[in-house]
Amino acid sequence: MQDVIDGFLKFQRDAFPERKELFKKLATSQTPTTLFISCSDSRMVPELVTQREPGDLFVIRNAGNIVPSFGPEPGGVSATVEYAVAALNVTDIVICGHSNCGAMTAIATCKCLDHMPAVANWLRYADSAKFVNEAREFTSEQERVDSMVRENVVAQLANIKTHPSVARALAQGHLSLHGWVYDIETGSINALDGATHRFVSLTEHPDVTATPASVRS
């Protein structure tokens, strides 16, 4: 814990003064343009990967970068999505999975989670991705896990479309969806192309989105 405290003291001493005007502005308002939904994994830091400053991203982080479908008893993720879209008027939503994801590895390899019932229950929101993945054949366990990470991003994009605020913003052409998979070792990102339903290099295709052009027009 001491290293965390030392980090804060360094922030207060060095980083904060350099951004004093930014924090003064942020003290009374925020205008993020992107809702970024990622895994809680300590190796995935949205602001670092996207090189964004405080105030630029509205962030949700949880085990498996999951977005439950909208239901009669909305939870924290649903409330945060709704606030981002209806109150902050974000123009983009990114759902970002990552390599070597513990949650997706547990699902793909059918790891017993009896000792973590809350985790097991939470990961049921990835069941549709699990069923799709199980219908495929793989040459290695790593290939199976990598596929599960991608299929989960696809599934969560489908889930988020069930949220009324998201559905309305998409219908009005005010919102674009993005499905990303971040590779920890290489620092690369593959993004879902909504037109071809394939993941492509974001470096080579920086304009690709998961939202078909017909929806954005």
DSSP helix/strand/coil, 117: helix
Q: Is 41 a catalytic residue?
A: yes
Q: Is 112 a catalytic residue?
A: no
Q: Is 110 a catalytic residue?
A: no
Catalytic residue among 3, 13, 14, 41: 41
Q: Is 43 a catalytic residue?
A: yes
Catalytic residue among 6, 52, 92, 101: 101
CB proximity list for 123: less than 8 A, separation 6 or greater: 63, 64, 66, 103, 106, 107, 113
Catalytic residue among 39, 96, 150, 163: 39
The residue type found at 105 is T
CA distances from 210 to 21, 64, 89, 141 (A): 36, 19, 19, 27
Report the distance separating Cα 28 and Cα 18, nearest Å: 19
Catalytic residue among 96, 98, 146, 163: 98
Catalytic residue among 3, 13, 43, 174: 43
Q: Say if residues 50 and 36 touch (Cβ distance below 8 Å).
A: yes
Instruction: Give the residue from 50, 133, 55, 145 showing the smallest Cα distance to 96.
Output: 50
Q: Is 198 a catalytic residue?
A: no
CA distances from 16 to 25, 31, 45, 47, 79 (A): 13, 20, 19, 16, 30
Write out the catalytic residue numbers. 39, 41, 43, 98, 101
